[in-house]
Chains A and B, each alone.
Chain A
Amino acid sequence: GAVVSQHPSRVICKSGTSVKIECRSLDFQATTMFWYRQFPKQSLMLMATSNEGSKATYEQGVEKDKFLINHASLTLSTLTVTSAHPEDSSFYICSVQNPGESPLHFGNGTRLTVT
């Protein structure tokens, strides 16, 4: 069964609005979650590491004020794309790692389209 639940699966929004994406770890408590972005026919690019109870760690080139991450509990991390623009249209996917184990478990992803 699914280990990670991500919602919504698809969202269309107007330019300038904000969109929140939720990522839930269903089977275990996750102190760390990861957010990736994937443009069409491209690889998964790590955006940030979400840390429960502390600030997220962003990869170089990712604007922390534009992509707000909140990891308020051990099972939930949210990514908010603020003031979205058409170039933010992408496939956003979260992943979690069971502490003490290696594999990443991915959510189903969110297809964001900004018009």
Chain B
Amino acid sequence: GENVEQHPSTLSVQEGDSAVIKCTYSDSASNYFPWYKQELGKRPQLIIDIRSNVGEKKDQRIAVTLNKTAKHFSLHITETQPEDSAVYFCAGGDNFNKFYFGSGTKLNVKP
């Protein structure tokens, strides 16, 4: 099955700085890569996703890039705010099949 690795496990940035989280995947058949934000004790919420036929996608302060050849994708958050503090998970899988999650990155944005 798919194996998704995520780095770093923790990330601390100053408010206003950018944050980058990176993931790699193993299964070349995977074609859909969502990113989820999870606050303590709550369900994961989808924040952005990308399909394998696209190299980059942006939504306001959040962007995701995908390198199919290298099998890695990254989440970029610009102008970070304290409310961005949470655990972020990347995932990979087939469009209509099960997803496997990375190990998570705890982002702390210091005011």
Binding site for B on A (CB under 8 A): 34, 36, 41-46, 49, 59-60, 93, 97, 99-100, 102-104, 106-109, 111
Contact = CB atoms under 8 A, between A and B. Distances in A.
Nearest to A105: B46
Q: Which of B44, B51, B102 has its CB near the most chain A CB atoms (within 10 A)?
A: B44
Nearest to A99: B96
Nearest to B99: A104
B34 A106 contact: no
Contacts, number: 52
Interface in B5-47: 6, 32, 34, 41-46
The prevalent SS among residues of B at the interface is strand
A42 B99 contact: no
Contacts of B32: 102
A59 B93 CA distance: 15
5 contacts: A36-B101, A42-B103, A44-B89, A99-B96, A109-B42
Contacts of B44: 44, 93, 106
B98 A34 contact: yes
A42 to B, nearest CB: 7
Given A102-B32, A102-B95, A42 B46 contact: no
